[in-house]
Amino acid sequence: MRRKQITALLVTGAMVLGTISGCSKGTAATGASSKEDGGIKEFTAFFAVPGDEINDDNEIQQHLAELTGAKVKETWLTGQTAEEAVGTLIAGGEYPDFICGSDGTSQLYDAGALVALDDYIDDYPNIKNFFTKLEWEQLRQADGHIYWIPQFNNSYEKDMQTTHNDEAFWIQTRVLKWAGYPKITTMDEYFDLIERYQEANPTMEDGTKNIPYTILCDDWRYFCLENAPLFLDGYPNDGSCIVDLDTKKVKDYNTTPTAKRYFQKLNEEFKKGIVDPESFTQIYDEYITKLSTGRVLGMIDQWWDFYVHVNDALKQQGLEDQGCNYVPLPITIDKGVKNRWHTSGDTLNVGSGLSITVSCKDVRGALKFVDDLLSEEAITLRNWGEKDVDYLVDQDGLFYRTPEIRMKVSNTAYKASHLCPYSYFPVWTGMSQDGINAAKPELQPNEFLDSLPTNVQECLEAYGCKTYVEMVGENEIPGPWYPIYTFVGTMTTATPGGTAWIKMRELKHEYLPKVVMAPDFEAGWDEYLSAYETCNPQAFLDEVQPEVDRRIKIAEEAAAN
Amino acid sequence: MASIGKVKKERINWKEIKKQKVLLLLSAGYVIYGFIFCYLPLAGWLMAFENYKPKAGFFHSEFIGLGKFRQLFLDDGFIRVIRNTLAMGVINLVTTMVAAIVFAILLNEVKSQGGKKVVQTISYLPHFLSWIIVTGILHDALSGTGIVNDLLVRFHLLMEPLNFFAYPKYFWWIVAFANVWKETGWNAIIYLASITAIDTALYEAAAIDGAGRWARIKYITLPGIKPTIIILLLMNAGNVLNAGFEVQYLLGNGLVQSVSQTIDIYVLKWGISQGDYSLGTAAGIFKSVVSITIILIANEMAKRAGEERLF
């Protein structure tokens, strides 16, 4: 009996300890290393965004290693949010050499995980020239140092934008073609068109049922559901709130009359079976799979959120010929409201970028690599690929691709084994430094047009457009505060406004789908409004307003000097 | 616990230690392991009592006493996750235990040895699948176009496919079902083992007395495995608050978040994602304390009822 008791005691002990140790959260971070391998330095990088890992023996990565003397093993976000991944790294205290924290950038800064770059930048001409002096100033944090280099939206020479890389109501070209390319400018017209098409053509050519309209609502990607009222009222993408273009006052878009009309419309369409019943329970992968089958007629999304996987899949399956590609429409709530879905010009996202961490043992080596990656030769390798393999050059020096090459470079296996864009390292867009070509194939006017599926070409032509951008029209950057989401992204629970912002997000995640699915819309909407008020949204708005004012003031001072 | 006067307490002396040195050496490894991996991390509990900032570290963060605990219990969200965790923990405990016991008894009644082995092997295979795969299968099976809806619609039990994940009322049961599906075969092994330990003479005697199958299960098998059931129940009771993380995290969505989030998800969300490590640690401490309390209470109840117990 006694022995039995002792055994039992040991078992219990072990169990209790097991329970207790459950709360010590350790994680093995990717060990920072910059080991030398045949003269080639190796760095590690983590990007807190989803991405595709490339093979270890990737061919262009090898070319770039010979060119720059270094290579980087990139890892991406999988199945977590950026904040979770970054929070776990901070708890572990070990970081990869390079990091892009995305939504978790301010946490990295708060944790002292990043190396201040301002003392180094002058020694690396390509990095230094990547931004103007004023832009570098804007990147300084509260402590006066620069910790990250924003990678995107930086055009060399001139803006060559051909795609609308932002949010829009998208629609398949087959729907527009069927209706004879009508002019669609309001939300009601948009859904009316989808309804009519769906009634006439309930299935695809092979008999698969269409999904008329789907809404991605997975985690942070629920912008596809929630921020349309902002655009419908004709405001540009400030992201988390409206900044009134005249008064420069911050306003909430979650409770406007337009928001109510938008959600009421979705509610009606949900009851009619137009809105995909799985909208609010599908995860991102399921959503992308749905779009890739060509079944979905329309949705709201950001172009960057779907185009890579979806367009390549449509191409590989031959669904381009059935008109399954998406084009954006300039939708607003009523006729006469000016749409601002597209803002042209470079918007500097001061909220996140590429950083070097305190775990990096060779900061200069790391910066040299970033600097080398910005050279003309490196950028061409990253964006266009290998000469005569991934692109050809005509007698004028213009790069172009053949249909066979385009098919090849959209193949997933080929992308992993051959192409290496180092896409989360700083990169020029716009023109190439050779002065002839565009920095990327999709920006090269002739290549862009030739690479478009016939159906999209026909559609753009019918609307008198040459690019996707012309479908929605261009707008100037509205003011120096724009976009204010770069500030909101840095708010944390440390302030009442930040806490309110997180509570609002969480509440909308639950209540907005409920509103859309509500049997009685009015009751559902009232329930949402009263729950929304408990989050104290005013505290959030009150903290954003001073930042808008501050940014305007800085710009005015800079202009005066 | 030997009461005074009942057993003479042996004094530990060098002779005794020498005699048992092999045993002591063998156990030393576990003590060191336990110390490093179970006790040392407890120093981290300090974080719960200060406003921990990674930059300042342990020693320079501001000490705030019980402030984080106060914040925790004033948050409706935390009360809600306690409710969810307890509810799912209890439902899982009951359903997986009942399923395993029933399954073990049914399997024991199978006469063909070959068939029994095959069924047993197949039934415990899901245990080796990771949750990400199981939730993937569930997500597919229960989706609007999945096999479950397909069958229900074809048999005219439903008019339209039902999106199971969109309604909070189904969520706890989906989680319970997932647990039962994954763990029944595995958990049944221990009951099967304890059934084999029952003296076969008892069954023969009962059969001669005219006991049918049902009576033999009721009067011999079940009482025979009762001690095992009680011990496992006690051990699992301490795990009620470990109602899970992966299942709820992977199957949850905005619509059901008010019933799907557990304490572990809360810790991840506020502790890790929002960088409030102190709050996360406080929630973790709360969980440990409640778990220990539950074990002590359950053990005491078993003792009072005169049953097997842990200590």
Measured torsion, CA atoms of residues A428, A433, A437, A442, in degrees rounded to the nearest 10 = -10
Chain B's closest residue to A86, CA to CA, is B273
pLDDT in the model for residue B261: 93
Q: Which DSSP string corresponds to B187-225?
A: HHHHHHHHHHTS-HHHHHHHHHTT--HHHHIIIIIHHHH
Coil vs helix vs strand at B167 = coil
Chain A's closest residue to B245, CA to CA, is A22
| Residues B236, B241: Cα–Cα separation, whole Å | 10
pLDDT tens per residue across span A204-219 = 999 999 999 999 998 8
Strands (E), A174-228: 211-213
Q: Residue ranges of the alpha helices (H) in chain B?
A: 14-19, 21-34, 57-60, 67-74, 76-109, 113-124, 131-141, 147-154, 168-196, 200-208, 213-216, 222-237, 246-251, 257-260, 263-266, 277-304
| Residues A329, A169: Cα–Cα separation, whole Å | 6
pLDDT tier at A348, thresholds 50, 70, 90? confident
pLDDT in the model for residue A460: 95
Contact assignment for A112 to B275 by CB distance below 8 Å: no
| Residues A39, A33: Cα–Cα separation, whole Å | 15
Range name among A202-206, A313-317, B5-9, B264-268 with the lowest pLDDT average: B5-9
pLDDT in the model for residue A38: 65
Within 518-547 of A, beta carbons closer than 8 Å to B belong to: none
pLDDT tens per residue across span A396-424 = 999 999 999 999 999 999 999 999 999 99
Residues of A in contact with B311 (CB under 8 A): 5, 8-9, 12
pLDDT in the model for residue B1: 40
Answer yes or no: is pLDDT of A255 > 90.
Answer: yes
Could you count the other beta carbons within 10 Å of the beta carbon of residue A246? 5
pLDDT in the model for residue A462: 96
* Surface-to-core class of residue A285, CB atoms within 10 Å of its CB (0-12 exposed, 13-18 middle, 19+ buried): middle
Answer yes or no: is pLDDT of B2 > 60.
Answer: no
Answer yes or no: is pLDDT of A10 > 80.
Answer: no
Record the tokens describing residue A286, joined without a space. 């399921």
CB B131 within 8 A of CB B250: yes
pLDDT in the model for residue A17: 41
pLDDT in the model for residue A26: 35
Contact assignment for A93 to B54 by CB distance below 8 Å: yes
pLDDT in the model for residue A252: 96
Q: Could you tell me if A88 lies within 8 Å of chain B, comparing CB atoms?
A: yes
Range name among A247-251, A461-465, B258-262, B273-277 with the lowest pLDDT average: B273-277
pLDDT tens per residue across span B169-184 = 999 999 999 999 999 9
Contact assignment for B257 to A509 by CB distance below 8 Å: yes
Is beta strand A242-243 parallel, antiparallel or unpaired with respect to A250-251?
antiparallel
Coil vs helix vs strand at A336 = coil
| Residues B234, A430: Cα–Cα separation, whole Å | 67
Return mean pLDDT, chain B.
89
Residues of B in contact with A21 (CB under 8 A): 37-38, 41
Rounded mean pLDDT, A8-36: 41
Size of interface A-B (CB pairs under 8 A): 137
CB A514 within 8 A of CB A556: no
pLDDT in the model for residue A169: 97
Chain B's closest residue to A276, CA to CA, is B144
Q: Could you tell me if A517 lies within 8 Å of chain B, comparing CB atoms?
A: yes
Element (H, E) at A99: strand A98-100
Q: How far is A244 from chain B (nearest CA, A)?
A: 30
Rounded mean pLDDT, B133-146: 88
Q: Which residue in the block uniquely carries the two structure tokens 């009263």?
A: A530
Q: Could you tell me if A25 lies within 8 Å of chain B, comparing CB atoms?
A: yes
Answer yes or no: is pLDDT of B129 > 60.
Answer: yes
pLDDT in the model for residue B7: 52
Contact assignment for B287 to A22 by CB distance below 8 Å: yes
Chain A's closest residue to B46, CA to CA, is A24
CB B96 within 8 A of CB B179: yes
Q: What are the residues whose beta carbons fall under 8 Å from the beta carbon of A94, sequence distance 6 or more? A: A29, A30, A31, A32, A359
- Among A1, A16, A20, A517, most B C-beta atoms within 10 A, so best to mutate, is A20
For B71-304, CATH number? Answer: 1.10.3720.10
Range name among A299-308, A425-434, B5-14, B64-73 with the lowest pLDDT average: B5-14
Q: Which DSSP string corresponds to A255-278?
A: TSHHHHHHHHHHHHHHHHT-B-TT
Complex ipTM value: 0.80
Task: Annotate A121-146 with b (16+ C-beta within 10 A) or e (fewer).
Answer: beebebbeebbeeeebebbeeeeeeb
Share of chain A above pLDDT 70, in %: 93
CB B255 within 8 A of CB B168: yes
Nearest to A377 by CA among A64, A125, A120, A143: A64
Q: Which DSSP string corresponds to A136-189?
A: HHHTB-TTS-B--B--SS-EESS----S--SEEEEEEHHHHHHTTS----BHHH
Share of chain A above pLDDT 90, in %: 72
Which residues on neighbouring strands pair with residue A149, listed in sequence order? A354
Chain A's closest residue to B267, CA to CA, is A23
> What phi and psi values does residue A299 have, to the nearest 5 degrees?
-170, 170
Nearest to A163 by CA among A311, A293, A375, A332: A311
Residues of A in contact with B287 (CB under 8 A): 19, 22-23
Answer yes or no: is pLDDT of A322 > 70.
Answer: yes
Chain A's closest residue to B276, CA to CA, is A493
Residues of A in contact with B148 (CB under 8 A): none
pLDDT tens per residue across span B75-109 = 888 999 999 999 999 999 999 999 999 999 999 98
Within 194-223 of A, beta carbons closer than 8 Å to B belong to: 217-218, 222
pTM of the model: 0.84
Q: Which residue in the block uniquely carries the two structure tokens 């020693």?
A: B59
Chain A's closest residue to B41, CA to CA, is A24
Within 304-363 of A, beta carbons closer than 8 Å to B belong to: none
Share of chain B above pLDDT 70, in %: 97
pLDDT tier at A494, thresholds 50, 70, 90? confident
pLDDT in the model for residue A446: 87
> What phi and psi values does residue A85 have, to the nearest 5 degrees?
-65, -45
Measured torsion, CA atoms of residues A149, A153, A157, A163, in degrees rounded to the nearest 10 = 160
How many residues appear in chain A? 561
Q: Is the peptide bond before A212 cis (omega within 30 degrees of 0)?
A: no
* Domain boundaries defined on chain B: 13-63, 71-304
Rounded mean pLDDT, B283-301: 90
Answer yes or no: is pLDDT of A285 > 90.
Answer: no
Return mean pLDDT, chain A.
89
CB B241 within 8 A of CB B90: no
Q: How far is A14 from chain B (nearest CA, A)?
A: 8
Answer yes or no: is pLDDT of A196 > 80.
Answer: yes
Residues of A in contact with B39 (CB under 8 A): 17
Contact assignment for A278 to B284 by CB distance below 8 Å: no
